[in-house]
Amino acid sequence: MRLFLTCSFVFLVAITSCLAQAQRVNWKKVKVLVYSKNGKGYVHDNIPNAIRSIQRMGQEHGFSVDTSARPEVFTEANLKQYTALIFTSTNNDVFDNDDQRLAFRRYIESGGGFVGIHSVVGTERSWTWFKRMMGGTFLWHPKFQPIRLKVLAAQHASMQGIPAVWTKSDEFYFLKELSPGPTVVLASDLTSLDGNEAEKVKASAGTYTSLYPSAWYYEFDGGHTWCTMLGHAKTDYEDPQFVNHMFQGLRYVVSQVKTLDLSKAYAKTMDEEVR
């Protein structure tokens, strides 16, 4: 019991420190790149709304926002100016070549930040390293419907202002090729689905029986990532609750990013083994 209490105290101190650090962000020094390229396949119509929402966020909090759907922006020389890269509803192959993929990976290895929104889990489905950074890759989703969400880590910086139980309409994403590592902070309640596709839901959920990951953070390969699978509807990006959800995730990530250090980037190829 004493060991449990000691571990719990250490965890609480770490969470409190993380929250305090996030609250001390100097937004005037923050610059982000919102990337919205899609490969062949389905393209979400929410992307322009998401971009405008993040631009408004930047105006409100005083940070700089660049936007692009051009993979040519992925060079080491260009990426080093950004505190975080935000992929909003990207899907399928979003890079033109492996040099761009390597530049993205080396940015993460240098200590960069990454925020992924909604269908980001369907991005670069053939790139092993990217899928590992995400913690998995897109499998399937039931139809758009109300989902009950539950906060699992109320004290984490990215969950500030999020209701303990939050019901919103969205697409519930299931993943495959799950990789250990990410820490889940928000989960969807499988029992809140309408039951119309119960057998497929059960098969897709695997060993998950009630709660399924919907937002998480991951300190991966030198970088700092936060992702949410929410955000399908265009109207989400006008909704104060969802906008706050995105902002808290971004705030957490940029609070973790220090000066990028390219000397820590070791990969020579996009699929080199993670050290």
- Which run of H or E residues covers position 22? helix 2-23
- Given a cut of 60, whether residue 164 has pLDDT beyond it is yes
Q: How many residues does the chain have?
A: 275
pTM of the model as a whole: 0.92
The Cα angle at residue 154 between residues 150 and 156, in degrees rounded to 5: 120
Amino acid at residue number 34? V
In 110-256, alpha helices (H): 128-134, 198-205, 240-256
pLDDT at 14 over 50: no
Q: Is the pLDDT of residue 2 over 70?
A: no
Please tell me the predicted confidence (pLDDT) of residue 17. 47
Q: Are 47 and 13 in contact (CB under 8 A)?
A: no
| Token pair for 11 | 């965890």
Asked if the model's pLDDT at residue 1 lies above 60, the reply is: no
Q: How confident is the model at residue 24 (pLDDT cuts 50, 70, 90)?
A: confident
Per-residue pLDDT at 22: 53
Of 68, 122, 134, nearest to 92 (Cα)? 122
- Closest of 265, 270, 243, 261 to residue 54, by C-alpha: 243
